[in-house]
Amino acid sequence: MKVLVTGACGFVGRHLARELAENGHEVIATDRREPTAPVGGAAVFETLDVREAGRLDAGVGRFAPDACVHLAGIASVAACEADPAAALAVNAQAALHLLEALRRRAPAAAVLTVSTVQVYGEGAGDRRLDEDAPLAPSNLYGLTKMTGDLLTLLYARGHGLRAMTARPVNHIGPGQSPAYVVPALARQFAAIAAGRAPPVLRVGNLESTRDFLDVRDTVRGYRLLLERGRAGRAYNLAGGRPCAIGALVDRLGELAGCRPAIEVDPALYRPTDASPRLDTARIAADTGWTPRLDLVRTLADIYREAFAGPPPGR
């Protein structure tokens, strides 16, 4: 398939381009900015801002994709809260622009809009949520992503698009920005282990729990959904292994071979919370997907990159 990927220069986009190319697909990579390094696996790259409806429509017509993965968006809760208008424009309205362009220009294309676990809101205890659970986002990021999610499913029902959505938990792995908690902690440990920083680890709330999924498992799920997923369906992706941030700190300390003092940074601290636990029976049944990489392997790869320094373009 010829696959159009929006937001291809980001953390997930780069992994997805490689996953698609390695499995025989032609990747048309787009992003609003020029890449600082080649997007590995992409046959074509073009600068394209999904907020510009006219250019997006023309681009979809020119590319004539067989499939599309919509990754472009503002992925930070804090960034959405800081600029609500931008969050709505990028995460919600741009999804509408893309769906309209695909409806007009590539109506037979398979479409995957990447949503988030945060459309479900706060954790539901030990109960696993399936895709029919009520959507109740508790922040602006979740609300804007929910809008794009529901628009996609509406276009599948109302316009016959082969469209579906993915609702992944937090994904981590090599190449992620240190603006996120796991690579930020790994970089601190690497600096301490190398003697470049004093043995003090600055942290937020270590009691909060997350179900972290390796980005390489995540993008394999996206590829399988393009190949085998069913139109009009939402799909949960999760590792099924909730983990407290404090446990991640312990594991990274083992990898670094050091146990620094812990200092809580008020700027990083958030109230204790837990992400919802997700039922992934639907994606397993429709595509055969299950996670392959455990958290130990993922953390080791993140720490190794933090110690060596990220490659160019990340």
The set of catalytic residues is 141
Secondary structure of 61-113 in the HEC alphabet? HHHCCCEEEECCCCCCHHHHHHCHHHHHHHHHHHHHHHHHHHHHHCCCCEEEE
| Cβ–Cβ < 8 Å for 164, 313 | no
Determine the Cα–Cα distance for residues 116 and 27; give it in Å rounded to an integer. 23
Determine the Cα–Cα distance for residues 269 and 271; give it in Å rounded to an integer. 7
Q: Which amino acid is at 218?
A: T
Strand, helix or coil for residue 201: strand
Strand, helix or coil for residue 200: strand
Cα angle, residue 7 at apex, residues 35 and 300 outer, rounded to 5°: 80
Determine the Cα–Cα distance for residues 28 and 68; give it in Å rounded to an integer. 9
| Cβ–Cβ < 8 Å for 161, 110 | no
- Rounded to 10°, the helix 245-256/295-308 angle is 60
- Give the phi and the psi of residue 43 in degrees, each rounded to 5: -80, -30
- Give the phi and the psi of residue 287 in degrees, each rounded to 5: -125, -15
Determine the Cα–Cα distance for residues 110 and 107; give it in Å rounded to an integer. 9
137, two tokens: 């986002």
Which residue is associated with the tokens 């600096």? 191
Q: Shortest CA distance to 67 belongs to which of 220, 230, 226?
A: 226
Determine the Cα–Cα distance for residues 167 and 147; give it in Å rounded to an integer. 13
